[in-house]
Amino acid sequence: MKYATLIWAGLWRKKARTILTMLSILIAFLLFGLLQGINQGIKSGLSDTRNNRLWSVNHMSAVSSMAVSDMTRMQTVKGVRKVAHMSFFGGYFQDAKNAIPAFATNIDNFAAVYPELRITPAQLAAMDTTRDGALIGRPLAEKYAWKVGDKIPLGTSIWTKKEGGNSWEFNIVGIYDATPDFSRGPLGSGFWINYDYWDEARLYDPHRVHQFIIQIDDPSKAAAISAAIDKLFENSTEETKTQPENAALQARLKQLADINFIANSIVGAVMFTLLFLTANTMMQSVRERIPELAVLKTLGFSGRRVSALVIAESLLLCLFAALAGLVLSMGAIKVIGSVFGPGRLPEAVFVEGLLIAVALAIVSGLPPALRAQRLNIVDALAER
């Protein structure tokens, strides 16, 4: 470490250039962290192996309904602990543009299947006594400044009431606080209403629901239990499609767009540009300092040591700037994270970023370092 001062001095030989190079590396790693963070964050949120839930939908499509009585048959499959169901309400508040993630469900079972939502027994009791009650997630309540006791009219793009019209009024009986991971997700800001009330009041499609959520005893048996459930309804008029929750979510995301491909192409473009830029700056910086390096060699520094100094300088530049960029992206992901899954930068992405920074430093520092090593003192001093 006795050369620290020397490296430091070399780094700041041209302040403006070093700062500009650092800033462009910082920007590149900020983008890298953002895109990879979102990309990996979605994946890691999905591959939580402790997940013991299966989703079952109509085989025809996820928006086709199924008989609510299927639930009783699913319950008979070995390994199934509890079955909940939910149906899309297609709600909006005041204007069709303000979509509200409202779902009708049997809230007791639903709360048992999703302990992550932290719905309290008192809230369940309140839902039980208030037929037109609604339980809503904290983020949703905050967004519209709704509180317990408010009567909220929701429009729906799907359901007409038996008495006519498509405006439904619900009484907010509770606001739940989900676990941090869930409160940022869609379920954390749900608007849950009583299935029984809704089913009686709607004009059509009675006794039918859109999706079953099946809690199982052992996550490692998910595939076998999914198959057993689908077997129950095989060759009936309504076949089911059952998948572990993670797999179902992943498939839905993949339908939206190949996020992976887009993120990787952009990161590739950014990294290529950046590598080019840094390599150029490093080479230029060494070129200008050839006489200085020759002086070092005259003083007795070996060729290898001089090249080590050049590499160290490059490492310092890249690592420092990359670290700053990654830390910034962590902050940015926290802010926008709620939209895309877990909202934190996975450690793996952080480590990957630092590794790329090291690779960048070596690739861009190596050619000038080799040049410094091979330097002929007399020629270099004479600037030939």
What residues line the site for another protein (CB under 8 A)? 16-17, 20-21, 23-24, 27-28, 30-31, 35, 59-64, 90, 92, 96, 155-158, 166, 204, 237, 239, 241, 251, 254-258, 262, 265-266, 269-270, 272-274, 276-277, 280-281, 283-284
Q: How far is the CB of 198 from another protein (least distance, A)?
A: 16
Class of residue 256 by CB neighbours under 10 A (exposed 0-12, middle 13-18, buried 19+): exposed
- Which of residues 308 and 313 has its CB atom nearest to another protein in the complex? 313
Contacts for 47 with CB less than 8 Å, ≥ 6 apart: 246
User: Long-range CB contacts (< 8 A, 24+ apart) of 163-166?
Assistant: 163/201
Q: Pick between residue 157 and residue 298 the one whose CB is nearest to another protein.
A: 157
Beta carbon of residue 112, minimum distance to another protein (angstroms, whole number): 29
| Nearest approach, Cβ of residue 279 and another protein (Å) | 9
Residue 276 CB, shortest distance to another protein, in Å, is 5
251 burial (CB, 10 Å; 0-12 / 13-18 / 19+) is: exposed
For the bound state, the minimum distance from the C-beta of residue 27 to another protein, rounded and expressed in Å, comes to 4
**What is the token pair recorded at 238?**
């309504």
Pick between residue 130 and residue 250 the one whose CB is nearest to another protein.
250
DSSP letter assigned to residue 116: G
CA separation (Å) from 349 to 309, 345, 353?
Answer: 29, 7, 6
Q: Indicate the residue among 14 and 143 with the shorter CB distance to another protein.
A: 14
Q: Between residues 149 and 164, which has the closer beta carbon with respect to another protein?
A: 164
DSSP letter assigned to residue 202: B
Q: How many other CB atoms are found less than 10 A from the CB of residue 64?
A: 12
CA dihedral sign, ordered 66, 71, 77, 81: positive
Spatial neighbors of 280 by CB under 8 A, at least 6 apart, are: none
What minimum distance in Å lies between the beta carbon of 13 and another protein?
Answer: 13
Interior angle at CA 175, CA 169 and CA 178, nearest 5: 130
Q: With respect to another protein, which residue has the nearer C-beta, 273 or 376? A: 273
User: Which residue's CB is nearer to another protein, number 53 or number 202?
Assistant: 202
Yes or no: say if 251 and 62 are a contact pair by the CB < 8 Å rule: no
Token pair, residue 309, equals: 């100094």
Give the shortest CB-257-to-another protein separation in angstroms.
Answer: 5
CB of 14 to another protein, least distance (A): 9
Determine how many CB atoms are found less than 10 A away from the CB of residue 69.
10
- When the beta carbons of 35 and 127 are compared against another protein, the nearer one is 35
